[in-house]
Amino acid sequence: MSNIATTIEQSKHLLKLGLSKETSDMSYSEEYFGEDKDGNGVWRWKLNACKFVDIEGIIPAWSLSALLEVIPAMIVYPTWVDKRPTDVWFNLDKDYNSETKKQFYMCYYKSLDTHQLAKNTDPSHVSPIDAAYEMVCWLLEQELIKKRGQQ
């Protein structure tokens, strides 16, 4: 089963890297689920299919659609071979590994002219959200997308 949103850990990491909460389209909130056998209150995280509300204890989450909205279609970045800045275009692919007999997702930026890669994600992601999450992290680390508070 694939995720429908970033995990709590992924969401916290995106925030730490500077991604704006306003770009999220879902959220996690804690809900009371009763008591355990010892009478202690049991709280669990619940994923809400609603936009993030800035209230303490609410953690923003990103669906695949929200992550793709953050990713630029084109960036100027050096390719691995030429090492010179060039226009590279975003792709999200679903492929199949004949050795492991599993399908996987991979995001990458590639030059349309030379077909050289500038960046690709780990080809072991079984969820498109995980591949897109990795790409957004890289873009934030490279300062290729605006961080929270930047104009």
pLDDT tens, 21-67?
Answer: 999 999 998 877 777 777 777 777 888 877 766 777 889 999 999 99
Which of 6, 151, 143 has the alpha carbon at shortest distance from 68? 6
User: How far is residue 109's CA from residue 75's CA, in Å, rounded to a whole number?
Assistant: 8
pLDDT tens-digit map of 64-119: 999 999 999 999 988 777 778 889 999 999 998 888 888 999 999 998 888 888 88
